[in-house]
Amino acid sequence: MCIFAANKMCATLEKNLNLVYYYRNYRSKMFAGIDFTSGDTGILSKKVFKFNKTLLCVLILAAALLLAGCGGAKSTRAKADETVHTALFDFTCGQASTLDGFGSLEIPEGNKLVQFHMTVTNTSDETYEIFKDDFQMQWGDGDDDFGIAMYPLTTDMFPIETELAPGDSVEGDMMVYVPTDTATLTVAYQEVLGNGNDGNNFFVDLSL
């Protein structure tokens, strides 16, 4: 989309520059009574003009390609039990619930312990590693209203790191402390492209 827009811009620019060239080097000189047979007309040569025009279009194309997110990254929002499709895997977050406690854990004052089940399936043709901390937990708009799921305390919890072959899945419970007045927990995933730039981002909103 970005390249198409840049090419269209270049075509329009070329048309306008050709018109400018015509008026600048011929019509204006003609009306000014300049003798075109003399060597001192001040006319820009077509060779130089075409080079400058091409260079300008190349620069526009380069600038368009360098614009981060141009025609690219999309945001996808989903709800509990809806499957989200990323470039490499699918993931699903189950309904969230609030726990009164978990083992010997002490819930900090002013917080509640939230749990949900997550499943990740490798839909690519390659084996790669999936990390628990690839998924960020968000519960507000403040600078500190985000975090990661709790370290797995049992084998039922989502593992820290898993190697997934094509078609394989990993699942487990995610747990996180959030303020007691939190009404929605959002699970966020950000794709990172091979060149290091951000790709699409995905958000799953879980009602509490």
Q: What is the pLDDT of residues 63-81, one digit of tens each?
A: 444 444 455 689 999 999 9
Tell if the pTM clears 0.75, that is, is over it. Answer: no
Q: At what angle do helices 2-22 and 46-66 cross, to 10 degrees?
A: 160
Residue 27 φ then ψ, to 5°: -60, -45
Tokens of 189: 């995933």
Q: Where in the chain is the domain with CATH 2.60.40.1240?
A: 75-207
Query: Which fold would CATH assign to domain 75-207?
Result: Immunoglobulin-like (2.60.40)
| pLDDT reported for residue 193 | 87
Cα atoms in the Cβ-side hemisphere of radius 13 Å centred on 181:
2
